[in-house]
A = this chain, B = another copy of it.
Amino acid sequence: MRTLYHTWLCPFSRKIRLQLAEKKLDFTLTFEKIWEKRPAFLEMNPTGQTPVLVDLDGTVVVGSIPIGEYIEEAYPQHPLMSSGPAERAEARRLICWFEDKFYHEVTHNLVFQKTIKRHIEKVGPDSNLIREGQTRIHDHLEYICYLTDHRKWLAGESISLADITAAAQLSAIDYLGDVPWSKHILAKDWYARIKSRPSFRSLLQDRYPALTPASHYHDLDF
């Protein structure tokens, strides 16, 4: 069976879960306590981070960007990347925006600080960083508003891996109730569209020990 290793609210693993589900590819989800630095896991990925995908033929693929590209190449059905190089470049620009800039400015400050940090760094959250994440998320939500005011989906007229990537990041923050949706209506409309897709169902059923999701987390009419 195809296996995806993920961890607590990992936004990068969530992206791959959505992508596999959009492409109707079955997989088993395996929880990895990355802070335990399990030797067999480190052998697959020396960085010790999730996601890691082990495909049906045993191919091990490591990291969000490589796994995302690998799935599109190995399983071209239900494509999440356009066929032209320029359109693909725009989707990749936004994927990097959300996995690099958005992650470091927002998701890391909110989700990492409040959840997995105590396992990895053995200290509690830094309230300054949480405040920084709460401040910076507004500009990014406005950017989603701007993009979806000009295009149907983030990178163009079709849903792409850019939407999946951005929604995966936001879904982890939304679990904690930290997305100020009411102040960014077009971003909320875009998220409502993607949240109602069948691929999203498994994410909305996630429950982590000692961390109850926000009351609207699984509500499609939030």
| A110 CB, nearest partner CB in chain B, Å | 20
Closest-by-CB residue of B relative to A146 is B46
What is the 8 Å Cβ interface bit string for chain A, positions 54-69, against chain B (1 contact, 0 not)? 0000010111011101
- Tell yes or no: A218 within 8 A of B by CB: no
- Tell yes or no: A214 within 8 A of B by CB: no
Give the residues in chain B near A70, CB-CB below 8 Å.
Answer: 85-86, 88-89, 92
Closest-by-CB residue of B relative to A63 is B96
Closest-by-CB residue of B relative to A66 is B92
Copies in the complex: 2
| A67 CB, nearest partner CB in chain B, Å | 7
- Tell yes or no: A211 within 8 A of B by CB: no
| A19 CB, nearest partner CB in chain B, Å | 14
A92 to B68, CA, bound (A): 11
Please tell me if the beta carbons of B101 and A89 are within 8 angstroms of each other in the complex: no
| A199 CB, nearest partner CB in chain B, Å | 21
Known: A47-B101, A101-B47. A66 touches B86 (CB 8 A): no
Closest-by-CB residue of B relative to A83 is B73
- Tell yes or no: A37 within 8 A of B by CB: no
What is the 8 Å Cβ interface bit string for chain A, positions 75-110, against chain B (1 contact, 0 not)? 000000000011011001100110011000000000
Please tell me if the beta carbons of B74 and A59 are within 8 angstroms of each other in the complex: no
Give the residues in chain B near A85, CB-CB below 8 Å.
Answer: 59, 70, 73-74
Closest-by-CB residue of B relative to A69 is B92
Give the residues in chain B near A93, CB-CB below 8 Å.
Answer: 61-63, 66
Give the residues in chain B near A73, CB-CB below 8 Å.
Answer: 85, 88
> Which residue, A66, A86, A89, A143, has most C-beta atoms of chain B within 10 A?
A89
A78 to B101, CA, bound (A): 32
| A147 CB, nearest partner CB in chain B, Å | 11
Known contacts A47-B97, A65-B92, A69-B88; 19 additional CB pairs below 8 A are A46-B143, A59-B85, A59-B86, A61-B89, A61-B93, A62-B93, A65-B65, A65-B96, A66-B89, A66-B96, A69-B69, A69-B89, A69-B92, A70-B85, A70-B86, A70-B88, A70-B89, A70-B92, A100-B100
